[in-house]
């Protein structure tokens, strides 16, 4: 899940928002302001209901962020790097770089999320009781009580033993501990996730068809998400099994074709696609020979025709700080999710500070075609991790 708006770092973890987070803010606000609040405490001005509903929605997002931050902090303490957190329509996603090293680490990383939501729910429950004892506004007490209830529901739901929920990770940790096979454990958790997903879809549509309850669309949507994500996790685990312990140096393209940062866009286009520049992405070099970025045909094509002769590659390239980087000894299984989350689906490989290669998702797909017995493994990578991006390998 790619972020649309990047926020500041919290506890050292990058936090962002996906545009779809507006859906959950709107849904919570409307549900409270047009339903629960006026039903429980009628007679207040409409702006009071809507203001408090919006505030409750924002606090709910903050509680989702606390849930994901707990995952991220515990993951880092267990040796798993965290790329960031993105809040979106169906909650939050903590993007972990790589797998937990042991079943115990997996258990700790997974368990802390529902535990955090449960603690937040208990704290809001205590706050609601305290405000009620002080005879505070009944509407405010209602809002705090809702926040308590929704966090407890979030904790219980996430604890269900089905991937990709936290409970599914707990189930995976248990199966991993018993069998010693993380891929087999992932299959079991994914199967449970698909069962739960189909149950939610069927029950949601049944509520709409037979009960006329349009709110059944929400569990059906969540069920669809569970099925697709659990299946993707299972395929990713199979890929990890095939790529286990393979270093990036085995799949990268060595000594890639480069482009000078001072070359003009027009000059670059004149030498492709039938000349020197036959691919669709190239490392960019400074005059001293050091790599300073990555340029793609997509970026170049954004330059207006009349400006191509005066625009330099260095002006349109992706700067090195925004490009995925790795070293030859990094494992392919750890680089793969970073590639999928990147904009250009490519990584530059450095050895002793010098550019030594480039890796794309297609490079990994070709390696898998030799390593997996099933037909069409390259397409399997595409299903599990999305599109490879631009058609060429580089």
**Can you name the residues that pair with 14 across neighbouring β-strands?**
9
| 68 counts as catalytic | yes
Catalytic annotation, pick one of 68, 233, 340, 390:
68
**Is the distance from CB of 155 to CB of 122 less than 8 angstroms?**
no
Phi/psi class of residue 86: alpha, beta or left (left: φ > 0; alpha: ψ in -120 to 50)? beta
Give CA–CA dist 364/324, Å, rounded: 15
Instruction: Give one DSSP letter per residue of 299-323, joined into a string.
Output: HHHTS-GGGTTT-BHHHHSEEGGGS
Strand locations in the chain (E): 5-10, 13-17, 81-88, 91-97, 253-254, 259-260, 281-285, 291-296, 318-319, 324-326, 346-351, 354-360
Over its C-alpha atoms, the chain yields an Rg (Å, rounded) of 25
3-state SS class at 104: helix
260, 287, 333: which is closest to 96 by C-alpha? Answer: 333
Q: What is the largest CA-CA distance in the chain?
A: 79
**Dihedral of the alpha carbons of 300, 305, 309, 311, in degrees to the nearest 10:** -50
Q: Which two tokens stand for residue 164?
A: 């990709």
Cβ contacts of 350 within 8 Å, gap of 6 or more: 291, 325, 326, 327, 356
3-state SS class at 194: helix
Give CA–CA dist 333/367, Å, rounded: 12
- CA 331 to each of CA 43, 50, 98, 191, 349: distance values in angstroms, whole numbers, following the listed order: 63, 51, 10, 28, 12
Q: Integer distance in angstroms from the first to the last C-alpha of the chain? A: 24
Give CA–CA dist 132/141, Å, rounded: 6
Task: Tell me the catalytic residues.
Answer: 68
């Amino acid at each position: 899940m790619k972020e649309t708006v990047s926020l500041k770092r919290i506890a050292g973890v990058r936090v962002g928002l996906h545009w779809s987070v507006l859906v959950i803010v709107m849904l919570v606000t409307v549900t409270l302001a047009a339903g629960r609040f006026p039903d429980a405490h009628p007679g207040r001005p409409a702006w009071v209901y809507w203001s408090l509903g919006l505030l409750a929605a924002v606090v709910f997002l903050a509680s989702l962020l606390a849930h994901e931050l707990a995952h991220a902090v515990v993951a880092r303490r267990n040796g798993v790097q965290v790329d960031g957190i993105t809040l979106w329509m169906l909650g939050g996603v903590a993007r972990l770089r790589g797998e937990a090293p042991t079943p115990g680490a997996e258990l700790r990383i997974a368990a802390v999320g529902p535990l955090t939501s449960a603690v937040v729910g208990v704290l809001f429950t205590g706050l609601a009781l305290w405000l009620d004892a002080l005879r505070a506004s009944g509407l405010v007490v209602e809002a705090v009580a809702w926040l308590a209830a929704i966090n407890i529901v979030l904790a219980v739901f996430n604890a269900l033993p089905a991937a990709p929920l936290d409970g599914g990770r707990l189930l995976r940790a248990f199966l991993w501990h018993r069998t010693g096979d993380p891929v087999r454990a992932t299959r079991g958790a994914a199967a449970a996730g698909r069962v739960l997903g189909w149950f939610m879809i069927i029950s949601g549509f049944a509520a709409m068809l037979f009960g006329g309850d349009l709110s059944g669309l929400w569990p059906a949507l969540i069920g669809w998400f569970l099925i697709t994500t659990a299946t993707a996790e299972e395929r990713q685990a199979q890929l990890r099994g095939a790529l286990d312990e393979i270093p990036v140096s085995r799949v990268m393209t060595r000594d890639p074709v480069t482009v000078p940062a001072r070359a003009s866009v027009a000059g670059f286009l004149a030498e492709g696609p039938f000349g020197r520049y036959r691919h669709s992405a190239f490392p960019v070099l400074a005059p001293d020979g050091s790599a300073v970025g990555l340029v793609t045909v997509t970026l170049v094509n954004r330059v207006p025709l009349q400006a191509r002769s005066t625009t330099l590659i260095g002006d349109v390239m992706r700067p090195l700080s925004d490009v995925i980087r790795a070293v030859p000894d990094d494992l392919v299984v750890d680089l793969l999710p970073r590639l999928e989350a990147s904009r250009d689906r490519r990584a530059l490989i450095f050895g002793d500070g010098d550019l030594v290669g480039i890796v794309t998702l297609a490079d990994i797909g070709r390696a898998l075609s030799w390593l997996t017995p099933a037909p069409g493994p390259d397409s399997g990578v595409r299903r599990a991790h999305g599109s490879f991006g631009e058609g060429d390998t580089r």
